[in-house]
Amino acid sequence: MGSPLNIAFVWHMHQPYYLDRQTRIAIFPWVRLHVCKDYFDMVTILEDYPHIKQTFNLVPSLVDQLNQYAKGDVRDYYLEMSAKPAHELTALDKTFLLSRFCPEGWQPRIGPYKRYKELILKKEALGSKSYPEMIQEFSEEEYRDLQVWFNLAWFDSLLLEKDNFLKECVEKGRHFTEMDKIGVIEKQRALVEEVVPAYRRFQEEGKIEITTSPFYHPIMPLLCDSGVALEALPDVNLPSFPFRYPEDARKQVEMGLECYRQNFGRSPRGMWPPEQAVSEEAVRIMMESGVEWIISDEEVLANSLGTKFVRDGQGNLQNPEDLYRAYQLQRDDRELKIIFRDHFLSDLIGFVYGSKPGRQAAEELHGRLKAIKASLGDRAERHLVTIALDGENCWEHYDRDGYEFLTTLYGLLDQAPELKMVTVSEYLDKAELKGHLDKIWSGSWINANFGTWIGSRSQARAWDYLYHTRSFLTTMERQGQVDQETAQRAWQEIYVAEGSDWFWWFSDYHHSGLDQVWDSQFRSHLRAVYRILNEQPPEHLFEAIISKDEAALVVRPTGPMHHPNQRREKL
């Protein structure tokens, strides 16, 4: 059998910063709901598999929101609409429930629940009616059932089976009471309070490694210099005003590290650059922060080496030794290790296996990993296969939230002596690093460029609005017109607006169905800077960035990211 091959799964847990920092209102409920569906069970499932170790990247903007929810310091309108007694619902409330609690299209998490589908299909059948007409067609009981099912369907199937109260609610199906509704919401609240402590406990027990990211998930290379996009895309349309603020990237890193220390009682060893985006300047900042290792994508490595990774018709690499290893970055007297994910294997989990029976998909992936081990022969123990992707979004497309896939895969790997599941740091502590990168390519996990976050007309406007607002703040500081505490509050709004997700939705290629909300909230953060400084925001921050003509060009993502118009929604 020979020496075992090291396997590292790195699950990226991220949500945008949905909180309005001034009102404490969350514009979307996805942090709360993904706790029930993904965050909690993705770590607790490991209790059943003693030889399985995993690496989780918890983005600080997510951790911060989890903590705010746990303290009860968030106003979640979706939660308020869920809890409101059905007999007190106004016409506006009912319109909100039908528009937001009845998702369009079939989704696996709704599929098993007959009553939920029944309510959604009824709403769809009334599609020709206006909302004032439509809301009259639903009874008080139906609205109450919809309130319950919107929240109940977000619970992971394992939680629904283990918790007696939730199991009884699923079996009941309809005719819910107000007490049933409140009981479901209380179960959510309890999980939110448990999730961060659960990750901390699993790390302290040595089952997992937790890494971090710059706080609000910005594209660090573009903060350092928006012109870096030209390296991979010489014809890309840049904003009118160059954005060159490496000090912002450094601050985001520092805040991310401090968030980690506060929540996990130690410093992180690894960092996931947002969108796996790297550049020479961004790498130096992370290197100088004391981070030991970072992660990026195989296409970034290929461009850094000036080569291509060639796969056969089955997806097997012809040169596996070059990808399945860690590299050393040495700049002056500092060093940083970097690993690169297998893009193909990661995309299989993210975009392909959800359409297959869970056991079949798990057995296929297990077979692929054994084939990689065989191709490396006696050298296998020197190498690391890294599979890295979002740890929440892909399960939307799996039956039972990926339960059969994960339990089958973990069961196979737990009993496979030729495959060793490790955390990234565990591998790096023993690896002999012989690969050095003299230059790192400037790119991300999508096509090894930054075209997803810069280049469209809407993105150019957004970058320019951010530039002007930031410049206004620095001018006020330079002229001594703002005290330190007030300035810090204003800077937090700037840092929030630097997050990658805003620019994602300003792309010509992505559509959430709620683009106007993203647009409005981005400008709200910029307007807040002026209001914190007791100044009137400029008129352009009250006007939509995405024009109607541009909105018509937007398409919905449909598959693996081989082109900028393909990615799952961040919901």
Q: What is the pLDDT of residues 233-287, one digit of tens each?
A: 999 999 999 999 999 999 999 999 999 999 999 999 999 999 999 999 999 999 9
b (16+ CB within 10 A) / e for 193-218: bbbbebbbebbeeebbbbbbbbbbbb
- Residue 309's pLDDT band (cuts 50, 70, 90): very high
Mean pLDDT of 157-169: 94
Mean pLDDT of 163-175: 97
* 310 pLDDT more than 70: yes
The residue to which tokens 């994508």 are assigned: 297
The predicted pLDDT at position 552 comes to 42
Question: pLDDT tens for residues 374-405?
Answer: 999 989 999 999 999 999 989 988 999 999 99
The predicted pLDDT at position 549 comes to 52
DSSP state for residue 538 in the 8-state scheme: P
The predicted pLDDT at position 7 comes to 98
Mean pLDDT of 413-440: 93
- Residue 292's pLDDT band (cuts 50, 70, 90): very high
CATH architecture for the domain at 457-551: Up-down Bundle (1.20)
Angstrom distance (rounded) from CA 536 to CA 107: 44
Cβ atoms within 10 A of the Cβ of 508, count? 20
Mean pLDDT of 503-522: 89
- Residue 2's pLDDT band (cuts 50, 70, 90): low
The answer to whether 56 touches 391, Cβ cutoff 8 Å, is: yes
Question: H helices within 176-219, ranges in order?
Answer: 178-204
- Residue 553's pLDDT band (cuts 50, 70, 90): very low
What average pLDDT does the structure give for the chain? 93
Angstrom distance (rounded) from CA 303 to CA 307: 6
* 106 pLDDT more than 70: no
The predicted pLDDT at position 105 comes to 65
The answer to whether 339 touches 326, Cβ cutoff 8 Å, is: yes
The predicted pLDDT at position 559 comes to 46
Angstrom distance (rounded) from CA 524 to CA 497: 9
Mean pLDDT of 407-424: 97
Mean pLDDT of 537-557: 70
* Percent of the residues in the chain that have a pLDDT greater than 90, as a whole number: 88
Angstrom distance (rounded) from CA 169 to CA 467: 51
The predicted pLDDT at position 108 comes to 73
Listed in order, the ranges of the chain carrying CATH 1.20.1430 are: 457-551
Region class of 456: left (phi > 0), else alpha (psi between -120 and 50), else beta: beta
- Residue 351's pLDDT band (cuts 50, 70, 90): very high
* 216 pLDDT more than 60: yes
- Residue 569's pLDDT band (cuts 50, 70, 90): very low
The residue to which tokens 């840092």 are assigned: 495
**CA distance from start to end of the chain:** 43
* 447 pLDDT more than 80: yes
